[in-house]
A and B are shown apart, each in its own frame.
Chain A
Amino acid sequence: MNEELRGTIKTGLIAGVVTLSLGMIGILVAFNKRFIVTDAVTLADLLLFGMAVIAGYLGASSLKEHSMGRRLLHGGLAGMLAAVPTFLLILLTLVWEGIRDSFINVEPALVSLLTLDNENVVVGGILLIVVFGVLGLVGVGYAQLPVRFRRPISMSLAWTIGSGVMSDILIGILRPRMSNDTLRSLFGSTGLQPVPFVVLFVLLTAVFFWWQQGGQTRYQTLRQNFTPRQQKSSRRVSISLLVIFLLILPSLLGVYLSEIFNEIGRFVLMGLGLNIAIGLAGLLDLGYVTNFAVGAYIMALLTSSSQFGPENPWSFWLAVPICVVAAMFTGFILALPVLKMRGDYLAIATLGFGEIIRVLARSDALKPVIGGAQGILQIPAAQIGGFMAQVMGYILNPINNLLSRFELGILATNSNGDIVFGNPPQLYYLFILASLLMLFISRRLNNSRTGRRWMAIREDEDVAAAMGINTTNAKVLAFTLSAASGGLAGAIFAAKLGSIFPSSFELLISINVLALIIVGGLGSIPGVIVGAFALVGIPQLLSEFAEFRLLLYGIALIGMMLVRPEGLWPSEVHRREIHSHGEDETAVPVSVKP
């Protein structure tokens, strides 16, 4: 057997095994309920048949210099082989009656999906192999296309499929602004209707193609020819547009999506904080949930009207600074004993600290103070009242009157003239305010002397000391500042939920925050936001994902390490580090006279 054939068979079978696993763990069946194209293509179809196209593409692209016929042959073969493992599974269901006792996800729905709804499963399975072979040929065809076509097509395919998958959101946004009939003609219960799907795809392809064929350069030269004044004003316009967009976003999104944004905001806050410790100072802190818990519990203890709160509960605004300071104090206390530790040892010590806090919160010993497993209830929502609310009402109400014509709005006063941050669209403003504040602080820190100190410690602690950097102080400072953001997130979290329980402060939160920093790009501030959208936003949006959330985290992390180890939006230093190896390594002996 020759080398290439073996490669193709391997590619096909790997794709097949992946397909088989997707089916056996239940992803295919779960995803089969979400249409991308209404009543035609589901997310499961996309995964299943996409695998065949990918197999064909890979099978063909491994042999570049061969004739078209050979490549089609290899691509088709790889595609067909990708269906073989699932075909074997179908055969197995015929001879093994009790297969579901051992493999609970091998249900009739999966079999009918894998046999293309054929009544005779063997015929259906063979049909699937044939279809996979054809799709493999499609993959070859795609590999055959010149790059200038391939790029726009894949971009617009991704966007169109994205719009199909996220059709819930689009429907939510468009419903108040469109007649029901128009909406029906665009979307089904889930997914895009076939005609709009095709139209959107063609349109987007044309746009991307135009952008690539000169639109981009034209746009760039236009920007370059701006006078400094024009540049300034264009910057000002884009910033004000962004601010307006951020302000009206919750009314655009509605309650459900605002809530998802708030979840993202909570993790952005924690991510920014942890990023100071891990990304900037290189201190692997696995107990970040501690700071979050301290912020939440202090907020609860200060503002709750239950027996755990004070006699005269504080206002949210007075309590927030205390929560932040308390979290910073915890960070400081944690920093002291672990200062001498490095790397893995530090990670384990902080991990332990996170667990201690959780156990303490749950413990009976502290039950009279912080409620034990029953938690603390009756935490009021944040609100602005009195004179302040009146002043803000004068500003906000006319804006709201104006915006209401477009079915939009911003924060508003209630019937009592107060501003309450109770429901998700209102809380959104709290999260966005806190996030912007922390973003600003992070940026300033990153570019400061302190930031450089952390950078040096991250690279080499001993040499940093030899440069005259007080490493002890810098590390304590990193832990302390890092904790602040977590405390803030916890404080808002407590006021948002109205009650807190120890179960909200699991180790998993620390892991989630760590994962989003890594996926976004270590040490990168925009990376935190991108990471939070990817790892918190997407699983929340697609409820099917929720069940497989941890699995997807794992896949995302492994995939990132293999494909983009520097993260989705890497920091400058990190990008250079990953991509500079191999260049200039063969330095010639110095011949320059000193």
Chain B
Amino acid sequence: MPLLEVNDVHAYYGNIHALKGVSLTVEKGEIVTLIGGNGAGKTTTLRTITGLMKPRDGHVIFDNEDVSKYPAHAWVSRGIAMVPEGRGVFAKLSVEENLELGAFHRNDKENIKDDIEKSYEMFPRLGERRTQLAGTMSGGEQQMLAVTRALMSKPRLLLMDEPSMGLAPVLVDVIFEAIERINQEGMTVLLVEQNAHMALQIANRGYVLQTGQIVLTDKADVLQKDPTVQKAYLGIE
């Protein structure tokens, strides 16, 4: 049984048919990436999975439970965490306060402190800036914060929306290395990326989304060698 199963999901923006029957699965312990161009429906798929958008048709099944009926905030306690696009840190709160809010639904106070310390171990940069306002940090630091904050909720599935967006290449490497490491510690990750080259390097499997439909799916290393993927998303002629 997969951890997450998206089953023939249709979603609309008004009259625009944004998702035309998207189906995908994520097994426990995998990194699965969803790649595609602008407007392919990547973010819409994620919004549907996290309950920010209701699918008109189809189901999202997480851990044997149909979760499409729940409102957005209820998903966190069920074990789904999201790193929003454009990072979405609380700009006016400090790094530490951001992390504390990430653990908002948890009740084990003493462990939260430990987990915050663990976040600082993962990104020492954050530890140095724990009292600094999140909004005054660089883009890379904010992305680190967004990732660790999502982990603070102790999720079983981590959804990431374009973690490489707007970051310098050196920072993209740092973030992707971190994703790999989080995954090695047992976290299941669904990664939505435009940077197909990086995403396919760390992922186990990949889906290619085009105008609201999955057009291709395979192991990541196979996709990397696929001529159409190479031409369309990897810039290799």
Any B CB within 8 A of the CB of A81: no
The size class of the interface chain B forms with chain A is 35 or more
B72 and A590: CB pair below 8 A?
A: no
Any A CB within 8 A of the CB of B55: no
1/0 contact string of B118-157 vs chain A (CB within 8 Å):
0000111100010011001110110000000100010000
- For A471, the chain B residues whose CB sits under 8 A away are 73
Any A CB within 8 A of the CB of B91: yes
CB distance from A457 to the nearest CB of B (A): 10
- For B133, the chain A residues whose CB sits under 8 A away are 576-577, 580
B92 and A469: CB pair below 8 A?
A: no
A466 and B82: CB pair below 8 A?
A: yes
Any B CB within 8 A of the CB of A470: yes
B73 and A470: CB pair below 8 A?
A: yes
Any B CB within 8 A of the CB of A465: yes
B174 and A467: CB pair below 8 A?
A: no
Of A84-92, A362-370, A581-589, the one contacting chain B is A581-589
CB distance from B142 to the nearest CB of A (A): 10
A590 and B104: CB pair below 8 A?
A: no
- For B149, the chain A residues whose CB sits under 8 A away are 467
How many residues from A make CB contacts under 8 Å with B?
31
B104 and A469: CB pair below 8 A?
A: yes
CB distance from A572 to the nearest CB of B (A): 10
1/0 contact string of B46-72 vs chain A (CB within 8 Å):
000010100000000000000000011
Any B CB within 8 A of the CB of A344: no
CB distance from A523 to the nearest CB of B (A): 11
With A465-B52, A466-B84, A469-B73 as known contacts, state yes or no: A583 contacts B136, CB within 8 Å: yes
- For A470, the chain B residues whose CB sits under 8 A away are 71, 73-74
- For A583, the chain B residues whose CB sits under 8 A away are 136
- For B89, the chain A residues whose CB sits under 8 A away are 463
Bound together, the chains give a CA A466 to CA B160 distance in angstroms of: 12
Bound together, the chains give a CA A164 to CA B76 distance in angstroms of: 61
Any A CB within 8 A of the CB of B178: yes
B170 and A590: CB pair below 8 A?
A: yes
Contact of A581 among B73, B76, B136 (CB under 8 A): B136
- For A465, the chain B residues whose CB sits under 8 A away are 52, 72-73
Contacts of A455-509 to chain B: CB distance below 8 A:
455-456, 459-460, 462-472
Any B CB within 8 A of the CB of A5: no
With A460-B88, A580-B136, A590-B140 as known contacts, state yes or no: A466 contacts B93, CB within 8 Å: no
B102 and A594: CB pair below 8 A?
A: no
CB distance from A476 to the nearest CB of B (A): 14
Bound together, the chains give a CA A456 to CA B105 distance in angstroms of: 13
Bound together, the chains give a CA A186 to CA B30 distance in angstroms of: 85
Task: Output the nearest chain A residue to B150 by Cβ-Cβ distance.
Answer: A466
- For B122, the chain A residues whose CB sits under 8 A away are 594
Which of A463, A467, A577, A587 is most buried by chain B, counting CB atoms within 10 A of its CB?
Answer: A467
Bound together, the chains give a CA A456 to CA B181 distance in angstroms of: 29
Contact of A467 among B76, B124, B177, B181 (CB under 8 A): B76
Contact of A594 among B76, B81, B82, B181 (CB under 8 A): B181
Bound together, the chains give a CA A592 to CA B136 distance in angstroms of: 19
B93 and A455: CB pair below 8 A?
A: yes
B90 and A463: CB pair below 8 A?
A: yes
Any A CB within 8 A of the CB of B101: yes
- For B94, the chain A residues whose CB sits under 8 A away are 576
A585 and B102: CB pair below 8 A?
A: no
Any A CB within 8 A of the CB of B171: yes
1/0 contact string of A429-466 vs chain B (CB within 8 Å):
00000000000000000000000110110011011111
A589 and B171: CB pair below 8 A?
A: yes
Any B CB within 8 A of the CB of A573: yes
- For A460, the chain B residues whose CB sits under 8 A away are 88, 90-91
- For A577, the chain B residues whose CB sits under 8 A away are 92, 133
Any A CB within 8 A of the CB of B16: no
1/0 contact string of B85-99 vs chain A (CB within 8 Å):
000111111100000
Bound together, the chains give a CA A469 to CA B181 distance in angstroms of: 28
Contact of B90 among A453, A459, A581 (CB under 8 A): A459
Contact of B136 among A453, A459, A584, A594 (CB under 8 A): A584
CB distance from A587 to the nearest CB of B (A): 3
CB distance from A453 to the nearest CB of B (A): 7
- For B71, the chain A residues whose CB sits under 8 A away are 470, 472
CB distance from B116 to the nearest CB of A (A): 15
Bound together, the chains give a CA A580 to CA B129 distance in angstroms of: 13
With A470-B73, A590-B140 as known contacts, state yes or no: A463 contacts B123, CB within 8 Å: no
Task: Output the nearest chain B residue to A456 by Cβ-Cβ distance.
Answer: B101
B137 and A584: CB pair below 8 A?
A: yes
Contacts of B173-212 to chain A: CB distance below 8 A:
174, 177-178, 181
- For B101, the chain A residues whose CB sits under 8 A away are 452, 456, 464, 467
CB distance from B92 to the nearest CB of A (A): 5
Bound together, the chains give a CA A584 to CA B174 distance in angstroms of: 21
Contact of A590 among B73, B90, B102, B174 (CB under 8 A): B174
CB distance from A305 to the nearest CB of B (A): 50
With A577-B133, A583-B136, A587-B138 as known contacts, state yes or no: A468 contacts B171, CB within 8 Å: no
With A590-B125, A590-B170 as known contacts, state yes or no: A468 contacts B104, CB within 8 Å: yes
Contact of A452 among B104, B170, B174, B181 (CB under 8 A): B104
Beyond A580-B133, A585-B136, A590-B140: 17 further Cβ-contacts under 8 Å? A452-B101, A456-B90, A460-B90, A462-B52, A462-B88, A465-B73, A466-B81, A466-B82, A467-B153, A470-B71, A573-B92, A576-B92, A576-B94, A580-B132, A584-B137, A587-B141, A590-B170
Can you report 13 A-B residue pairs in the complex whose CB atoms are below 8 A from each other? Answer: A453-B104, A459-B91, A462-B88, A468-B73, A468-B76, A472-B71, A581-B136, A583-B136, A587-B137, A587-B141, A590-B125, A590-B141, A592-B123
A residues near B, CB below 8 A?
452-453, 455-456, 459-460, 462-472, 573, 576-577, 580-581, 583-585, 587-590, 592, 594
